[in-house]
Amino acid sequence: MLAKQVFYTQDLRIDRTNKKLVTEGVARVISESDKNAIEEAVRLKEKLGGKITVLTMGPAQAKEALREAIAMGADEGYMLTGPEFENSDAHATAFALAAGIKKIGQFDIVLCGETSEDQFSFQVGPRTAEILNIPQITYAIKIMIQDGKVVAERSLEDSYETVESKLPAFITVSREINEPRLPTLMAIMAASKKPMTAWTVADVGLKPSELGRDGSLTEPLKTAVATGERKRILIQGEPKEAAEKLASTLAGEGVVKVT
Amino acid sequence: MDIIRDVFQHVPLPFVIAWYAIGIISAYIFVVGIRRHLHAWKQGRAEQIQGTTLSRMRRLVYFGLVQAKILDKKYNGTMHALISMIGFLLLLGMFFPILESIVGYLALLFALGLILLEYKRLRATGPPLETAWEDSFVFGVIVAMAVSGFLMMGVNTWAWASPVGEVLSPLFAPLGPKVLVELYPTLFLIHSALVFSLIAYVPNSRLIHLITSPTNVYCAPITIKGEMTTPFDLKQMMESGNFDMKVGASEINDFTWRQKLSFDACTLCQRCSDACPAKAGGTKLSPMHLILKLKNLELQPPDTAKQLHGQTVDPEELWACTTCRACVQECPVLIHHVEAICDMRRHLMAEGKLDKKKRDLLTFLTTVGNTYGLGSSDRAKWAEGLDVKSYGDEPDQEFLYWVGCAGSYDTRNQMVSRALVKIMKAAQIKFGILGNEEKCNCEVARRLGEEGRFQQAAMELIDLMNKRGVKKIVTQCPHCYNTFKNEYPRFGATFQVIHHTQLIAELLREGKLKLRKRIEQTIAYHDPCYLGRYNDEYEAPRTIIRTLSNGRLVELPRSRTKSFCCGGGGGNTWYTVEAEKKCSVIRIDEARQLAPNILAAACPYCISMFEDASKALGTSDKMPIRDIAELVAEALE
């Protein structure tokens, strides 16, 4: 099970002078759909038994994400950490995670969220599955294990799809799949006692050139802030009159069609 | 000469033997029954009862003997006092020599109690009490007991000189002395057997409250009303690294023996449920029924007993509680419903299976430090342009003004914050705020059952305030006020905490704040639960209103200790509970019957709840909702 720690996006601001994100004092949390993935893993374990191992990649603070995942019901945690992993794009990240998964060993299912809240690339899951060379099911909203196979419902843009796969399989889950449980602060603190291991580049047998900027296929060229001004039109008057004015203004803007 | 009635006077030996036999059998059944209850309580967790023996004895006399809270309700109280107190004296009369005339008068009073009871049963005023066939049976036995007692007085020729005997004697005289002398022992035995059987029946009926209620009154903890129980010490746990502890009540035996005794003390008087805003709103919660369910569960044999959560108690019942304390205030036998509810909430929290709104709320507290989920760096935006100093930036600052989440982020309550700033400036008080460093004190987390998060916030905030040298705190939120005043001291806080109404009342009294004008309108005041019931502050807000309105304060039908919650406490502002009617709507409806020009409150939750309800009912113009600080600020202009 893979999970990523991200900044709590609702508290992020952009410094207008240097166009950089202000991250100071902003809390770090597990990315939302990764929480759904952890919850689904815990529910599968409650039903079928087994063991849940969480793998994350990130700076030292990412340990908090492991603790939270363990507090939710995972059994152990591993993290890939070190400067070499920094600035990895989806490709390099998938590469590192796949190495981590191989090192952990035998598994039946790898679960992760469909995307992370900070990058929104939707790519890390599928890419990791490719590198591991196992079947993948993306955007799952329901997972059932039957006779050594996994049957999952996928949420596509305009339809649902039910697919079946042999195990081991790689599944990315959508937010709709469940309501993740919220561990109490005490449970998170108690989770520090569960086994957690940090791996460096060497531990998973990777070369620094395969990671970070060097290992990435993409390169950020420029950061820009998209600005949009509101029109700030205030319509006053009696409700009926105002409503008519509002309707005609909106129609004038071409936002609504008056029939 | 006075006539003394001795226990076995005019009773032949065989009857005396039968009397003892029935008495002993009844006592045996009674003891076996009581042991069943004792056994049930003992399965609970350990708890040290608090307070001195003297203070508990005093309370026992006040609530148990004098029945102070029961007498609060005049009709029911009188009826109960007549039956219970007189009944007790008459029971003593069975075992000790007593003046016949006293027995007569006592019996008449007892009979009056029974008549009042029957009248109440036939012509119920207000919501009917719940009764079962057992209750009718018990009542029947008591009536038969009383009738046999009066027959004894009539048959008892030697006591015909007594006041009751005098009246009854003509009815019985025609039977002739011989028949009467033979009849007396039989009646005596019937009367005694009825009394004994009633005693034997006590442990299996509602009458168990004769034992459990006074016992609970004696054992109920003597604590600070506004402080919730502290199930663990997070700091200690962090130091020891040992977090292995079960928090909250996941099953019936997770309650302490004293709590289990308290559930058993319920008399089904229904006063809690009649006062409960969640019940009035038609949610799943009815405090009396909740307590009864717990009572029934604890008396079940463990192998057939249901689960506490899910099978006995529905999570929705627990989340519907606004922790307003009306039930606890009303309970004549000192049951603490809110404590039990919060213990069960702690379990739900430990399970972590919360709906999205509750999950979001707690996530907000951890990530942005406020209940609204808004940016932590926007906390002090409300004060822009007001020249409000940061605490510590200026020498001799008297107060830390604790704004609270609502006062900081909610547009309606920001108006109250600005009004309070204006007042403090007018009174030349030196104060400062924590600005963006202020964070929710997690009162709401504690009431939802997330104790760890609460204690972490307490440690962090106490540390921050100590570093800034805070001595006195003023706040407009009664919830923040209560938590700082009553809950933070356990975690090391030594600040003096006052509510803005207390500060304003003091400033007016000392003449430091001078009103330029009066608001000549009738103003009704709604007592916020955490200022009134929890902290007994009823006068400060009223003094202010009387002063600024030239005495045109009017009282709502339910005010002071009887105030009806706005529905916002205990976390209820932040999630939805299935209900027929919102508490705030019920309260606004009640207020508009009184038709005051203004409805004043002194709590951000009340203000928000009432604003919404007023809009829904269309009363915003006729009866605007104002915080007391806003009225005072207006009177300064």
Per-residue pLDDT reduced to its tens digit, B340-384: 999 999 999 999 989 999 999 999 999 999 999 999 999 999 999
CA–CA separation, B537 and B69 (whole Å) = 20
Is residue B280 located within the same domain as residue B200? no
Distance (Å, whole) CA B326 – CA A115:
48
Cβ atoms of B132 and B121 within 8 Å: the answer is no
- CB of B366 within 8 A of CB of B453? yes
Same domain, yes or no: A235 and A210: no
Same domain assignment for residues A147 and A238: no
State the total domains in chain A: 2
Residues of B in contact with A38 (CB under 8 A): none
Query: Which residues of A lie inside 8 Å of B (Cβ-Cβ)?
Result: 8, 10-11, 13, 22, 25, 27, 29, 72, 179-187, 189-190, 192-193
B44 and B164 within one domain: yes
> Band of the pLDDT at B2, cuts 50, 70, 90?
low
Q: From chain A, pick out residues whose CB is under 8 angstroms from the CB of B450.
A: 184-185
Give the CATH number of the domain where residue B347 resides. Answer: 1.10.1060
Q: Does the structure show a pLDDT above 80 at B182?
A: yes
- Could you read off the pLDDT of A176-187 as tens digits, one per residue? 999 999 999 999
pLDDT band at B10, cuts 50/70/90?
A: confident
Distance from CA of A259 to the nearest CA of B (A): 32
Which chain A residues are closer than 8 Å to B362 by Cβ?
A: 182
Within-domain flag for B140 = yes
Measured between CA atoms, the residue of chain A closest to residue B365 is A27
Q: Per the structure block, which two tokens stand in for A202?
A: 């060497």
Q: Output the pLDDT for position B125.
A: 56
Q: Within this chain, do residues B243 and B212 fall inside the same structural domain, yes or no?
A: no
**A130 and A234 inside one domain:** no
Beta carbons within 10 angstroms of residue A174's beta carbon: 20
Query: Quick one: how far is CA A148 from the chain centroid?
Result: 27
Tell me what the mean pLDDT of segment A67-94 comes to.
93
Provide the shortest C-alpha distance from residue A27 to chain B (in Å): 5
Measured in angstroms, the CA of B453 and the nearest CA of chain A are apart by 6
Q: Let me know if B120 is exposed, middle or buried by CB neighbors in 10 A (0-12, 13-18, 19+).
A: middle
Residue A242 domain boundaries:
229-259
Chain A contact present for B232, CB below 8 A:
yes
- B64-to-A157, B112, B335 alpha-carbon distances in Å: 68, 21, 13
Q: What percent of chain A has pLDDT over 90?
A: 57
Distance from CA of B220 to the nearest CA of A (A): 29
Distance CA A238, CA B100 (A): 84
Say if the Cβ atoms of B367 and A27 lie within 8 Å: yes
Tokens of B607: 């203000």
Of the candidates A25, A72, A184, the beta carbon closest to that of B452 is on A184
B262 within 8 A of B557, measured Cβ to Cβ = no
| In the predicted structure, residue B49 carries a pLDDT above the cut 70 | yes
Contact B367 A11 (CB under 8 A): yes
Residue of A nearest to B240 (CA): A190
The residues that bridge with B348 in the sheet, in sequence order, are none
Are residues A166 and A253 part of one domain? Answer: no
Tens-place pLDDT, residues A132-156: 999 999 999 999 998 889 999 999 8
Quick one: B400 and B303 in the same domain?
no
pLDDT of residue B94: 86
Residue B260: half-sphere exposure toward Cβ, Cα within 13 Å: 25
Q: Hey, is the C-beta of B381 within 8 angstroms of any chain A C-beta?
A: no
For residue B120, the model assigns a pLDDT of 83
User: What is the pLDDT, as a whole number, of residue B1?
Assistant: 45
The size of the A-B interface in CB pairs under 8 A is 74
Tell me if B232 and A186 make a contact (CB, 8 A cut-off): yes
Shortest Cα distance, chain A CAs vs residue B80, angstroms: 47
Residue B405 has pLDDT above 50, yes or no: yes
Which token pair is B125? Answer: 């005023």
Cβ-Cβ contacts under 8 Å, B238 against chain A:
189
Average pLDDT in chain B: 93
| End residue of a domain, out of B325, B353, B381 | B353
Banded pLDDT at B571 (limits 50, 70, 90): very high
Are A96 and A206 in contact by the 8 Å Cβ rule? The answer is yes
For the record, the structure tokens of B527 come out as 């007592």
Per the DSSP assignment, residues forming a β-bridge with A171 are A111, A137
- How close is the nearest chain A Cα to the Cα of B454, in Å? 9
**Exposed/middle/buried for B337, CB within 10 Å: 0-12, 13-18, 19+?**
buried
* pLDDT higher at B154 or B1: B154
Residue B369 tokens read as 């430090």
pLDDT at position B160 over 70: yes
pLDDT of residue B490: 97
CB-nearest to A29 from B367, B377, B453 is B367
User: Confidence band (pLDDT; 50, 70, 90) for B546?
Assistant: very high
Q: How sure is the predictor about B129, in pLDDT bands with cuts at 50, 70 and 90?
A: low
Q: Is residue A21 part of a domain?
A: yes
Contact A185 B452 (CB under 8 A): yes
**Does residue A210 lie in a domain region?**
yes
Residues B313 and B448 in one domain: no
Could you give the maximum distance between any two Cα atoms of chain B, in Å? 102
Residue type, A30: I
The shortest C-alpha distance from A71 to chain B (Å) reads 10
Q: Which of residues 395-454 of B touch A (CB under 8 A)?
A: 450-453
Contact B544, B508 (CB under 8 A): yes
List, in sequence order, every residue forming a beta bridge with A56; answer none if it has no partner: A79
Residue B327 to residue B271: CA distance in whole angstroms? 7
Residue B391 lies inside a defined structural domain of this protein: yes
> Taking a C-beta distance cutoff of 8 angstroms, is the pair B456, B440 a contact?
no
Tokens of A239: 């409700």
What is the arithmetic mean of pLDDT over B403-429? 98
Q: How far is B346 from chain A (nearest CA, A)?
A: 10
- For residues B271 and B335, state if they share a domain: yes
B597, B513 Cβ separation under 8 angstroms: no
Q: What percent of chain B has pLDDT over 70?
A: 98
Query: Both B47 and B118 in a single domain?
Result: yes
* Per-residue model confidence (pLDDT) at position B172: 87
Residue of A95 and A23 predicted with greater confidence: A95
Q: Are residues B485 and B620 in the same domain?
A: yes
Verdict on whether the full-model pTM lies above 0.80: yes
The CATH code of the domain that includes B72 is 1.20.950
B258, part of any domain: yes
Residue ending a domain, among B173, B192, B219, is B219
Task: Please tell me whether residues A245 and A140 are part of one structural domain.
Answer: no
Q: Given a cut of 80, is residue A221 above it in pLDDT?
A: yes
* Residue A110: closest CA among A118, A100, A121, A122: A100
Q: Assess whether pLDDT exceeds 80 at residue B102.
A: yes
Calpha distance A186→B488 (Å, rounded)? 19
The residues in B 334-363 lying below 8 A from A, measured between CB atoms, are 349-356, 358-359, 362-363
Expressed as residue numbers, the domain containing B329 is 234-353
Which of B352, B355, B368 has the CB atom closest to A183's CB atom? B352
Q: What is the CA radius of gyration of chain B?
A: 30
B154 and B293 share one domain: no
pLDDT bin (cut points 50, 70, 90) of residue B236 is very high
How would you class A238 by CB atoms within 10 Å of its CB: exposed for 0-12, middle for 13-18, buried for 19 or more? exposed
What band does B128 get if pLDDT is binned at 50, 70 and 90? low
CB contact under 8 A, A179 and B355: yes
pLDDT band at B124; cut points 50, 70, 90? low
- Residue in chain A closest to B349 (alpha carbons) equals A184
Q: How many domains does chain B have?
A: 3
CA of B414, closest CA in chain A: separation in Å? 21
Number of Cβ atoms within 10 Å of the Cβ of B126: 11
B326 with B383, same domain: the answer is no
Q: Which positions in chain B touch A35 (Cβ < 8 Å)?
A: none
Asked if pLDDT for residue B570 goes beyond 70, the answer is yes
Cis amide leading into A168 (omega within 30): yes
A10, A27, A190 member nearest B244 (Cβ) = A190
Average pLDDT estimate for B281-287: 97
Query: 3-state DSSP call for residue A92?
Result: helix
Query: Is A221 within a domain?
Result: no
- Return the residue of A nearest to B356 by Cα: A179
For position A258, what pLDDT does the model report? 67
CB contacts of A13 in chain B (<8 Å) are: 375, 377
In this predicted structure, what is the pLDDT of residue B217? Answer: 96
Query: Looking at residue A117, what is its pLDDT?
Result: 80
Same domain, A95 and A155: yes
Q: How far apart are CA A164 and CA B421, in angstroms?
A: 64
Can you give the pLDDT at residue B127?
A: 56
Contacts of A184 in chain B (CB under 8 A): 247, 349-350, 352, 450-453
Option in A184, A189, A193 nearest B238 (CB): A189
Looking at residue B595, what is its pLDDT?
95
Contact check, Cβ <8 Å, B359/A72: no
Question: pLDDT per residue over B311-324, tens digit each?
Answer: 999 999 999 999 99
Same domain, A150 and A205: yes
